[in-house]
Copies of this chain bind each other. A is one copy, B any other.
Amino acid sequence: MPDLKKELIAMESHRSLFEEAIRGLQTPVLPVFQKGSALVPVAFDKVGETLTGKDDAAVKALFPRTTAAHGNKVLRISGANAKPMKGLRVAVLFSGGPAAGGHNVVTGLKAILGKENTLVGIKAGPKGLIEGKTMEITEADCRLIQNTGGFDFLGSDRTKIKTPEQFEAVRKTCREQRLDAVVVVGGDDSNTNAAVLAEKLGPDGVRVIGVPKTIDGDLQVASLLPISFGFDTATKIYAEMVGNILQDTPSSRKYWHFIKLMGRAASHVALEVALQTRPALCLVSEEVAERKYSLADLVDQVAQVVVARAKKGLQHGVVVIPEGLIEFIPEVNALIAELNEVLAHHEAELGGMDLAGKRGFLAGHASEACGKLFATLPEYIQEMLLLERDSHGNLQVSLIPTERLLMDMVKARVKAIDPGVKFSSLNHFFGYEGRCGVPSLFDAAFCYNLGLTAGSLVLAGKSGYMAAVTGFDRGGEALGIPLTGLINLERRHGQNEAVIEKALVKTGSPAFRFFAERRDSWAASDLFTSPGPRQLWGEVSRQVPISVALNQGYGSIVMNLGGKLAKATAAKKASKTPKKSPKKAAKKAKKSKKK
């Protein structure tokens, strides 16, 4: 008993059985980085294609040095790097919201930089780079953080470096820390910032490399970068939760669950989770905008499925909802814009009014369309729309509880279609629990190889590139993507701003098309799957995101990354080849139908 207490106290501070075991997990490494048991940096050639954005000329004018240096050409590996640079001091920082695998980017960097170079950690994100908050990262640190979740080793923040003073402060940090390179781990904005830093710090001899992070999955570059890191872990965490709830529905046989998933504007997360779990319904924001669905259309679509299933005795189901949905419904956008106008222009009159008063006032001042739509909304949403404004007088759309709004409106619609249908419902939002989980084997391996790639780019003297890994079905390939090749100009606050455009779900993509082919069957009867908790060991651990496999044209959803391990998998797979499984499974499925 005293022993057990000692054991439990020894487990505090990241020492649980699982955390101790995970540090020892072997993750596949790209063969190109392997020389016997040692890791070697690779050399790059500009043998890749040239990336040309829609604002190519303007972007080249904004980034003359970088674009002249790399001509927006993708870097591909030309073999081992015979003369890697030495004595470098390389800094790494996390930027923006955390995503699983970030720690492995650091350990990958440390491993490839080796003993002849120094890895410096920037604490608390871009802010730390400005304020010069740094630490030297040791091998002992890396042993502790290997394969662990979160960004807590260094911390992160959302500071955007753009003012002359900020750039000067960054230069100061680079001088004082004698930095030769900075590796920025972040999303679209952070990588845009990395491109700017690469341009600005060039003259100081400081190279800048970006690493693609975001659970939202909206940082993708066709076949060059199938997905950003963190997406696989987040979607597997949400898919387990959604799968658990799906499993609950025919068990308790009485609830509809409306589940909103984190993921910002794009619907990649919702689509991937739907592909993994096959729920009755999944809404995709990009399709809603494309087809100009009204809120009433969406509510009716869901309600019709509820009624149809009820007629078959299925009084349960799951609706998956992307976080950004509300902003993709054209009429809702129009309503919010108009409300912002009205409220701004009549601040004085509206000042003292309560909800009822404001509602009446609005009826007199809003367009008919908006007035109609507004009247259909539940009171708590009307309140939000009328009362809650940020300092700029805008509504924070992200605060609208879309899952509850849909649930309540569907309830009313179902009653209107068929008062006989029983409809009990619950709503959920899965978000923060998906950002800092322990990385899936995919993200752990992806990130470690991203670290090896970023480090190799630095040791090859490159700057202004984003490290990338692709070909998860063929052993894996490391690339350098010219950041300026991804940048377009966007009108923000009345001026052109350089931005890496967020990749939204394409309704023409193989992943969406497959979803669209299957969704009616998923709605008609329970065909759901419950993919379970992500496993870090064994065959099951090697699943890649289904949307990635479909969009990249992979032949299977089992990851094939790294030389030796890849073969091992192939061998294992022989025992249950995908070729056979469909028939076999179909047969078994029949049996299960009998129940």
A378: interface (CB < 8 Å)? no
A555 touches B15 (CB 8 A): no
A586 touches B16 (CB 8 A): no
- Chain A residues within CB distance 8 Å of chain B: 1, 3-22, 94, 97-98, 124, 135, 140-141, 144, 148-153, 155-157, 237, 240-241, 244-245, 247-253, 255, 257, 275-276, 278, 426, 428, 432-438, 510, 514, 518, 521-522, 526-540, 543, 546, 549-550, 553-558, 576, 578-579, 581-582, 585-586, 588-589, 591-593, 595
A13 touches B589 (CB 8 A): yes
Bound: A226/B530 CA distance, A = 29
B7 touches A244 (CB 8 A): no
A533 touches B438 (CB 8 A): yes
Partner of A155, one of B3, B17, B251: B251
Bound: A97/B252 CA distance, A = 7
A13 touches B530 (CB 8 A): no
- Which single residue of chain B is at the shortest CB-CB distance from A157? B253
Q: Which residues on the B side are within 8 Å of A7 (C-beta)?
A: 556-557, 578, 581-582
Smallest Cβ distance from A538 to chain B, in angstroms? 5
A9 touches B557 (CB 8 A): no
Partner of A8, one of B20, B141, B514, B595: B514
Bound: A275/B588 CA distance, A = 41
Bound: A11/B549 CA distance, A = 15
Tell whether A4 pairs with B549 under 8 Å between CB atoms, given A247-B437, A251-B155, A532-B22. Answer: yes
A152 touches B18 (CB 8 A): no
Smallest Cβ distance from A578 to chain B, in angstroms? 5
Since A13-B589, A240-B437 are in contact, a sample of 4 more A-B pairs with Cβ atoms closer than 8 Å, ordered by chain A residue number, is: A11-B585, A148-B530, A244-B432, A535-B536
- Which single residue of chain B is at the shortest CB-CB distance from A554? B4
Partner of A19, one of B14, B275, B530, B558: B530
Q: Determine how many copies of this chain the complex contains.
A: 2
Most buried by B among A3, A247, A432, A534: A247
B13 touches A527 (CB 8 A): yes
Bound: A434/B428 CA distance, A = 13
B150 touches A514 (CB 8 A): no
Q: Which residues on the B side are within 8 Å of A97 (C-beta)?
A: 252
B144 touches A98 (CB 8 A): no
Tell whether A150 pairs with B247 under 8 Å between CB atoms, given A21-B538, A532-B22. Answer: yes
A152 touches B250 (CB 8 A): yes
Most buried by B among A7, A514, A557, A558: A7
A13 touches B245 (CB 8 A): no
A595 touches B556 (CB 8 A): no
Q: Which residues on the B side are within 8 Å of A140 (C-beta)?
A: 591
Bound: A247/B553 CA distance, A = 35
Smallest Cβ distance from A233 to chain B, in angstroms? 10
B18 touches A546 (CB 8 A): no
B532 touches A16 (CB 8 A): yes
Partner of A529, one of B14, B433, B437: B14
B244 touches A437 (CB 8 A): yes
B532 touches A19 (CB 8 A): yes
- Which single residue of chain B is at the shortest CB-CB distance from A150? B247
B588 touches A531 (CB 8 A): no
Bound: A250/B156 CA distance, A = 9
Q: Which residues on the B side are within 8 Å of A554 (C-beta)?
A: 4
For this complex, 27 residue pairs linking A to B, each with C-beta atoms less than 8 Å apart, are A1-B555, A3-B578, A4-B549, A4-B550, A7-B578, A7-B582, A10-B589, A12-B278, A12-B527, A12-B589, A15-B529, A17-B539, A18-B540, A98-B248, A144-B588, A149-B244, A149-B247, A150-B247, A150-B248, A150-B250, A152-B249, A152-B250, A245-B436, A436-B530, A438-B532, A532-B536, A537-B537
Tell whether A251 pairs with B11 under 8 Å between CB atoms, given A144-B592, A532-B18. Answer: no
Q: Which residues on the B side are within 8 Å of A588 (C-beta)?
A: 15, 144
Partner of A10, one of B19, B240, B586: B586
Counting from the closest, the 8 A-B pairs by CB-CB distance are: A533-B533, A10-B582, A150-B247, A151-B251, A247-B436, A152-B250, A248-B436, A10-B585
A535 touches B18 (CB 8 A): yes
Bound: A140/B593 CA distance, A = 12
A240 touches B556 (CB 8 A): no
Tell whether A3 pairs with B252 under 8 Å between CB atoms, given A247-B152, A589-B13. Answer: no
